[in-house]
Amino acid sequence: MTKRSRFSTLTALIAICFFAVIARCAKAEGPQKILLWPEGAPLAKGDRPEDKPGLIVYLPPAEKAVGTGVVVCPGGGYGALAMDHEGDQIAQWFNSFGVAAFILDYRHRNKGYMHPAPMLDVQRAIRLVRARAEEFGVKTDRIGVMGFSAGGHLASTAATHFDAGQPDAPDPIDRVSCRPDFAILCYAVIAFDEPFTHRGSMRNLLGDNPDPELVKSLSNEKQVTPQTPPTFLFHTNEDTGVPPENSVMFYLALRKAGVPAELHIFEKGRHGLGLAAGVPGTELWPECLKAWLKVRGLLDRS
C-alpha cells in the first residue's frame, strides 16, 4: 500500500468515525422540548422548571409522515406524569406509522397547580401545534388530543372546552383554534362527583370543597355537544382504579349528540396499562386505534 493510499484510507476511517459520533450525539439528544409560553406561562408561580409547561416533540421521518399530529397527555392523577409508558412509548409507536406526537408536560398539583392551569396548558398545546403545523409537517385539520387516566380527563376537557381563538390577540398562537380534530381517551377519568369517580384526580384538580358548578363543568360527559370531535375510547373491565363507567358515560353522550365514536372495553387488564403488551386481548387496542385512524382518513398521505 502506498503512502497516498494509506492516507486516503485513514482519512476515510476518520470521516466514518466522525459521522458516527455525530449520529450518536444526535440520537442522544432525543426529541426536542419546547415551552408553551417562552415568555412565561399564565398563572406561573415562579421561574422553576415546574412553572414552565412544554411539549416534547416526536416527529416521524419525513418519508413516513402522514400529516397527522397528536398531543399526548400522560396520566398521574393530576399529581404526577407517567412520561414513559403513557408518553415516550406512545409517541414512538405513533412515529412508527408516520404520526407526529407531542407529549404534554403539563402543570399539576405536585408542581403547585390546580384548575385551570392544566386546561390552559392543553389548550395552548393544541394551538401551538396548529400554529406551527407547517414546521411540524402536520395539517391544521388533523391535530388530535390523547390522554391516559387523569390525562384522559384533561384530553376530554380539551374535547369539550374549546374556542376558535382570538383574532386580535397579540400572540399569533392565541389567534388559532384550540379545538382538537379528534380525541383518544384511554382508561380515562371523565365523570366527577359520581360513585365511580376517581376521587384522587378530582381532589388534586379542584381541591377538597370545589364549587358544584365547577364540578359539573368539568364532569365532561355532561359537556358533550355536536361540536365535540370524533372520539376513540378504550377501557378494561378489570379496571378498579378508574372504572369503565367513565368511558361508557362519555360514549353514550357522544351517541346522543351524534358525534362519531368507537368504544372498546376489554376484559383483562389493570389500570394504567399503556400499550398493554402481553395482556391477552387488551394488547390489541393499539391496532384498533390504528384502524380507527385509518377509517377516518387520518393515515392517508396527501
Distance between CA atoms of residues 241 and 76, nearest Å: 12
CA 259, CA 267: separation in Å to the nearest integer? 25
CATH superfamily of 32-295: Alpha/Beta hydrolase fold, catalytic domain (3.40.50.1820)
Bond prior to 286 in cis (omega within 30° of 0):
no
Chain segment 24-59, per-residue pLDDT in tens: 333 345 699 999 999 999 999 999 999 999 999 999
Counting beta carbons within 10 angstroms of the beta carbon of residue 84, is it exposed (0 to 12), middle (13 to 18) or buried (19 or more)? exposed
What mean pLDDT comes out for the span 182-204? 95
Asked whether 200 and 79 are in contact (CB, 8 A), the reply is yes
Residue closest to 172 by CA, chosen among 203, 132, 221:
132
Average pLDDT, the chain: 91
- Give the amino acid at 28: A
Q: How far apart are CA 212 and CA 188, in angstroms?
A: 21
Confidence (pLDDT) at 30: 67
Strand partners, 103: 56, 72
Give the separation between CA 102 and CA 130, rounded to whole angstroms.
Answer: 12
200 — pLDDT class (breaks 50, 70, 90) = very high
Taking the C-alpha atoms of residue 92 and residue 3, their distance in angstroms, rounded to an integer, is: 48
Do 126 and 158 form a contact (C-beta atoms < 8 A)?
yes
Q: How far is CA 40 from CA 37, 46, 51, 112, 129, in A?
A: 5, 9, 8, 16, 18
Q: How confident is the model at residue 2 (pLDDT cuts 50, 70, 90)?
A: low
Upper half-sphere CA count for residue 153 (Cβ side, 13 Å): 31
Q: Express each pLDDT in 4-29 by its tens digit.
A: 444 344 433 333 333 333 333 333 45
Tens digit of each residue's pLDDT (9 = 90 or more) over 92-149 = 999 999 999 999 999 999 999 999 999 999 999 999 999 999 999 999 999 999 999 9
Neighbour-count burial for 206-223, b at 16+ CB within 10 Å, e otherwise = beeebeeeebebbbbbbb
Take residue 157 and report the three cell numbers written for it. 376537557
**Are the C-beta atoms of residues 54 and 105 closer than 8 Å to each other?**
yes
The secondary structure of residue 174, as a DSSP letter, is G
- Whether residue 295 contacts residue 263, with contact meaning beta carbons closer than 8 Å, is answered with no
What share of the chain in percent tops pLDDT 90?
A: 87
- The per-residue pLDDT for 14 is 38
Full DSSP string of 209-244:
S--HHHHHHT-GGGS--TTSPPEEEEEETT--SS-T
Domain boundaries, the chain: 1-30, 32-295
- What's the pLDDT score for residue 13? 39
pTM: 0.89
Q: Where are the alpha helices (DSSP H) in the chain?
A: 3-29, 89-95, 117-131, 133-136, 150-160, 199-206, 212-217, 245-257, 285-295
Over the stretch 225-273, which tens digit does the pLDDT of each residue have?
A: 999 999 999 999 999 999 999 999 999 999 999 999 999 999 999 999 9
Instruction: Convert the pLDDT of each residue in 133-161 to its tens digit.
Output: 999 999 999 999 999 999 999 999 999 99
Task: From residue 213, give the alpha-carbon distance in Å to each of 52, 95, 98, 196.
Answer: 29, 40, 41, 19
Please say whether the beta carbons of 160 and 191 come within 8 A. Answer: no
